[in-house]
Structure 1
Amino acid sequence: MAANPPPPAPPRILLAGDAHGRLHQLFKRVNSVNQSTGPFHALLCVGQFFSPEGEAEVGDVADYLEGRAAVPVPTYFTGDYGPAAPRLLSKAAADARGFAPGGIEICPNLFWLRGSNRFTLHGLSVVYLSGKKGPGGPGCYSQDDVDALRALAEEPGIVDLFLTNEWPAGVVNEADTSNVLNQVLDPHGYDPVVAELVAEIKPRYHIAGTKGVFYSREPYVNDSAAHVTRFIGLASVGNKEKQKFIHAISPTPASTMSSADIHARPPNATLSPYVAPVKSVPIGEDPKRPAENTDAQYWRYDVKRQRQGEAEGGRLCFKFTSSGSCPRGSKCNFRHDEEAMEHYNRNVCFDFLNKGKCERGPECKFVHSLSGGAAVRDARPRSERRNVESSCWFCLSSPDVESHLVISIGEGYYCALAKGPLVPNHVLMIPVEHCPNTLMMPPEAEAELGRYKNALAKYFEKQGKAAVYFEWVSKHSHHANLQAVPVPLPKADAVKKIFHLAAKRLGFEFSVVNPDGDANQGRESLRSQCESKSSLFYVELPEGRILLHTVDGNEKFPAQFGREVLAGLLSMADRADWRNCKLSKEEEIRMVDDFKHGFCEFDPAE
């Protein structure tokens, strides 16, 4: 018997702090490290990538953009700010088309990680927040970028690397500051929003820059997660203090690790700094003064509101107000107000709700009134506005829509083949207009959806298959998609059983919406039960019965539950994650052509 091949070696990654435009010096060091201890697969740069000086100080960057110098290894950067950055990045931004979570290439081997997103790099799951906290505009991350990461935090799978420019407020281990430099304790460069995000995302590594100092914190145990997190702060390139600005790691992707390795805790592991009060570095206070009654509630929107004294005056909990739940429950020092949550969902400004005023003034995109009759700039939910105002994969009007996957366009719905399909002919039925779930669509669109389902049933029947439909409706849903997965007829009877079994393993039971099996009546019942602020998952079985689970506010429900269950039914566990099933654009185009050829006789839009 042949021996099993050894597992692939983990990727080797270089990390760098603020480049400040000194790319020649950075890449000279990268070449030296690569020759002595390489090769390395990638370089990840956090902090200010471009020069903080004026337009005259862009020589190094221009050499690479104009082809006079070469980037030695694939390099990804998040610090898209500095006086010259908008001009240097304008062409790349204008030329960017489609969904590019892995970066926009601005010259060979140099990738701009714009906004926020998640992508896979040599098997590693990487999440990033580009830009820094600020008033908005170029080089500043937006609330939309933050909201996108909150939604990503709900997706299954462990994040290996989280890249930010600024450090998370409260990260310093207060129990051991004896060897910590004063620069680490300096309040400049800390961001409470980053602290909030890292506590939700729970990466294995968190990498940050901006403070001009190297700091490798003791690993800490995450709340409600098996693995630990390691924080690494990096100094700026060529700093006078000779602080470390480049660092090498070689992490095994979590997706390939054993359970024992993921659960392993180093002997120097500490508690998470984001679930207990921290008194060492409250932002905006002098670290030399004794801290007075502080609370490091990491999800606070503004660190000035971290002080417990202000909380006693009735300050709102941002986590509860924005999401409807708070991990600290009754232990939270801030107010959980359902009425404020409803106002927030109606696009009322959080600062206005919390302080009675908003310092952003006319620059604020949200409403400064509690009156339902007030002029609302956009009455749609914030999660929906984020995609409308920026980009959305599924909006046909968006430059990011992958139109080559579209197979049919109707009045209210269009159909597309899934990207990274579970099986061939895996179809998404998507509203043409931006809508967070299909249950909120108007009656005429619901009728058209029924026609598409009838057409798919006939098409799949010719192949000896039956359709399973499912939809995950979350408070974070942006653009609806009802998924249709064909399963072989011999397995159709087992669909009900495997969904009930999967539910039992997660600790809940499905309710049956339509015991008589009338799918149309079942959807009508679902539509009457659906509320925009509730989360739910439903699946329509091949025989027409609909199973429903209303997700409790504190419940951690897997966003890919439907796909994961069907992957188990079809003995395709390795295809449960769509990212493992991605095809080239040429393969996708052939797949669409094949589908259209067989579906055209049934297509209700023809």
Structure 2
Amino acid sequence: MDVNAKILVVGDVRGRFKQLFSRVEQVNKKAGPFEILCCVGDFFGAEKQNEELIAYKNGFKHITVPTYILGPNKEEDRQHYEDLVDGEVCTNLTYLGKRGVYTLTSGVKIAYLSGVEAAGNVAGEHEFNKADVQAVRNSCLVSKNCATDYRGVDVLLTSQWPYGLQEGENAKASKLISFLCREIKPRYHFCAINGTFYESPPFRIPKDETTQFELCTRFISLADVGNAAKAKYIYALSLKPVDKARLLDLVQKTTNEIPCPFIGLDMVGIVNKNETSESRQYFYDMDSSGNRKRHSEGGNRDKRPRIMQIDQDNCWFCLSSEKVEKHLIITVGERFYLALAKGPINSHHVLILSTKHIPCAAQLSTEDWEELDKFKTALRKLFKSLGQVVCFTERHYKTSHLIIDAVAFEEGYSWKIKHSFEDKAEEFNLEFETLPALTSAKMLPEMGPYFLAELPDDSTLITRQMKHFPLHFARDVFCSENLLNCDEKVNWKDCLLDNEEEKANVEEFRKLFAPFDFTDD
């Protein structure tokens, strides 16, 4: 029996961390457990106020509910986000990112957009523009083949208000957010930075080319944490994910509904008609970057839900991105490429990466999986010719792009690898399930984070126990005394090579791989 997901949302925190997390702990004990706490609006405050966070960063105090925050709304708040690693502020406190869609383990889909609308086409770190809004919209619609069965998303998080709701009292409202809400049709839309609690009566967004259903949205603005007027700043939801909800519950009308405030808005200069869901010209299958692809070219696309999206221009691993370190590339296929690992454990430590932006192997299409399997088979053959075996690992946790590590060992170590994983799992109090050899994406968790290891004996170890999962877990295993006995290489940053060494290693591996390289066929 499906259990509803419990979610908390709060408004502007502005440095009142102790008050917030104390209140959340009380609510969680009384009405929880809650799966996630989402913060909209300004999270950080004045420098003196932010000192309250030190106790949480040092581990003297603990955040009881996994908490996710939006980005800065003011130029001066950028400093609080600049040095974050994988978005983590401290344990259980994470920056979601500028924009995207995040799917919880329960299946609840949360779309989010940080910052305030930019005055021009160029957006600063604390702003968003039309391209950002379109990227979020595309991420919500990307898994749909332009059919009429789109059900919307569960939650939309923005800091700024949409235009059309009390804009007379809220001069800083955004028409781009109104457009986004109308396009993705969230069941709940939360925002802040207006200093007031306001809950609009529900309104129904008319059907368009994405859906035959008139879906209902509830708009809620939350007040500041600890505000003097004691206006509501925390809101609890209990939701069955939109994809699992009964259709009747989504379309059933209530007596207190108001007309949709986003219909009839003057969008001239904001978006073009052919960029909306009211126009057929928009409808193509889209990848996560928003690139259009006609149905006739799309083939048999996989429809599995996307978990987290970022655009390819800003990804370190998408082949089209300027940020890719191209000198590390060994060979390139149609859907995947092989590269030397950054900070490798040894000269035979390589990565298999998807050429376009795919978050994890669980979301691969049949065609994707076939090419990935070719790379794995080629590496197995190469290492066997060298008297070695290979272990493949994937960590779908705090990483947004599909990366598969391949590390080789002397054949005599083959039997030790599984035992080393089991020993390290016991050390970190992790439980692994054993699966047979992976043959398709359908064997992997459809939603939520996971870690897996494909062992030389053709078995697969997998865990979804990812809360506080150690990011270097695989390297901890490989570098342990039982295997490579090199604890000093657990952190990849301690193994960085200079540019010339990397190029030399790539050239050496390219020569070794050449007899098995199918990408030249």
Matches within 5 A, 1:66-77: 66-77=58-69
Corresponding residue of 1:236? 224
Structure number with larger C-alpha Rg: 1
1:250–1:143: structure 2 CA closer, same or farther, 3 Å change rule?
same
AA aligned to 2:278 is P
Question: Paired residue for 1:49, among 43, 52, 62?
Answer: 43
Report the Cα distance in structure 2 between the residues aligned to 1:391 and 1:137, rounded to whole angstroms: 18
Do residues 129 (structure 1) and 44 (structure 2) align? no
Residue 248 of structure 1 corresponds to 236
Distance 2:64 2:240 in 1: 23
CA distance in 2, matches of 1:110, 1:427: 38
Partner letter of residue 113 of structure 2?
L
Pick closer, same or farther for the CA change 1:428–1:196 going to 2, 3 Å.
farther
Conserved? CA contact 1:14–1:249, under 8 Å: yes
Letter in 2 for 1:154: L
| Partner in structure 2 of residue 80 of structure 1 | 72
Q: Cα RMSD between the aligned structures?
A: 4.4
Q: Distance in 1 between matches of 2:252 and 2:259?
A: 14
* 1:60 to partner: Cα distance: 1.9
1:603 aligns with 2:469: no
Match of 1:409 among 311, 320, 332: 332
Question: Secondary structure of the residue that 2:239 maps to in structure 1?
Answer: coil
User: Are residues 215 and 250 of structure 1, via their aligned partners in 2, closer, same or farther at CA, if it must alter by over 3 Å?
Assistant: same
Over residues 285-312 of structure 1, what are the superposed CA-to-partner deviations in whole Å (9 max), with x where a residue is unaligned? xxxxxxxxxxx23x4556xxxxxxxxxx
Quickly say closer, same or farther: Cα 1:70–1:189, change in 2 above 3 A: farther
Distance 1:231 1:50 in 2: 24
- Asked if 1:391 corresponds to 2:315, the answer is yes
Match for residue 16 of structure 1? 10
Q: Which residue of 2 aligns with 1:165?
A: 159
Judged with a 3 Å threshold, the aligned counterparts in structure 2 of structure 1 residues 593 and 223 are, in CA distance, closer, same or farther, namely same
The aligned residue for residue 223 of structure 1 is 206
Alignment partners' CA distance in 1, 2:457 and 2:163: 48
Letter in 2 for 1:119: Y
Percentage of matched positions with identical amino acids: 26
Q: Is the alpha carbon distance of 1:604 and 1:20 closer, same or farther for their aligned partners in structure 2, counting shifts above 3 Å?
A: closer
Shift of 1:49: 0.7
Q: How far off is 1:32 after superposition?
A: 1.9
Q: Does 1:111 align with 2:94?
A: yes
| Residue 588 of structure 1, CA deviation | 7.2
* Residue in 1 that maps onto 2:452: 586
Deviation at 1:244, TM superposition (A): 0.4
- In structure 2, the partner of 1:271 is 259
Aligned to 2:503: none
Residues 457-514 of structure 1: per-residue CA shift (max 9 Å, x gap): xxxxxxxxxxxxxxxxxxxxxxxxxxxxxxxxxxxxxxxxxxxxxxxxxxxxxxxxxx
Q: In structure 1, how many angstroms separate the alpha carbons of the residues matched to 2:457 and 2:83?
A: 33
Q: Assess, with a 3 A threshold, how the Cα gap between structure 1 residues 70 and 56 changes in structure 2: closer, same or farther.
A: same
Q: What one-letter code is carried by the residue in structure 1 that aligns with 2:18?
A: H
CA distance in 2 between counterparts of 1:202 and 1:591 reads: 48
Task: Note if contact 1:219-1:268 (Cα within 8 Å) is conserved in structure 2.
Answer: yes
More deviation in 255-264 or 195-204? 255-264
Considering Cα pairs closer than 8 Å and 6+ residues apart, tell me whether 1 or 2 has the greater RCO.
2
Contact 2:44 2:80 in 1 (8 A): no
Preserved CA contact (<8 Å) 1:319 1:326:
no
Once residues 227 and 101 of structure 2 are traced to their aligned partners in structure 1, the CA distance between those partners, rounded to angstroms, is 30
What's the counterpart of residue 62 of structure 1? 54
| Partner amino acid, structure 1, of 2:198 | Y
Does the aligned pair in 2 maintain the 1:48–1:210 contact within 8 Å?
Answer: yes
- On the 8 A contact 1:21/1:50 being kept in 2, the answer is yes
The answer to whether 1:319 aligns with 2:306 is no
C-alpha separation in 2, matches of 1:120 and 1:159: 10
1:34 equivalenced with 2:22 (yes/no): no
1:167/1:191 contact within 8 Å kept? yes
Partners of 1:592 and 1:89 lie apart in 2 by: 42
Output the CA distance in 2 between the equivalents of 1:328 and 1:602: 45
Q: Tell me the TM-score normalized by structure 2.
A: 0.56
Q: Does 1:204 align with 2:174?
A: no
Distance of 1:124 and 1:590 partners within structure 2: 36
Contact 1:50 1:79 in 2 (8 A): no
In structure 1, the partner of 2:141 is 154
TM-superposed deviation, 1:118:
0.6
Residue by residue, what CA displacement relative to the aligned partner does 1:233-252 show, whole Å, maximum 9, x if unpaired? 11111111111001111011
Where does structure 2 lack aligned partners over 5 or more consecutive residues? 145-149, 208-212, 282-309, 339-352, 379-439, 461-512
**Structure 1 stretch 123-132 or stretch 411-420: which is displaced more?**
411-420
Residues 65 and 106, structure 1, Cα contact 8 Å, conserved in 2: yes
Q: Which SS does the other structure have where 1:119 is aligned?
A: strand
What does the per-residue CA deviation read over 1:312-344, in whole Å, with 9 as the maximum and x for residues that have no partner?
xxxxxx223xx4567389xxxxxx9xxxxxxxx
Change (3 A) 1:59 1:270: same
Q: Which whole-Å deviations, capped at 9, do the CAs of 1:538-573 have from their partners, x for residues lacking one?
A: xxxxxxxxxxxxxxxxxxxxxxxxxxxxxxxxxx9x
Shift of 1:80: 2.5
1:145 matched residue in structure 2: 132
CA distance in 1, matches of 2:455, 2:321: 20
User: Equivalents in 1 of 2:245, 2:334: separation in Å?
Assistant: 47
**Change beyond 3 A, Cα 1:263–1:411:** closer
Tell me, what secondary structure is at the counterpart of 2:178?
helix
CA 1:407/1:582 → structure 2, altered by over 3 Å: closer, same or farther?
Answer: farther
Q: TM-score under structure 1 normalisation?
A: 0.49
Q: C-alpha deviations, 1:95-122, integer Å up to 9, x for none?
A: 33xxxxxxx2221100101111011113
Q: Is the 8 Å Cα contact of residues 14 and 248 (structure 1) preserved in structure 2?
A: yes
Which amino acid is the alignment partner of residue 58 of structure 1? N
Q: Distance in 1 between matches of 2:135 and 2:367?
A: 29
Contact 2:75 2:126 in 1 (8 A): no
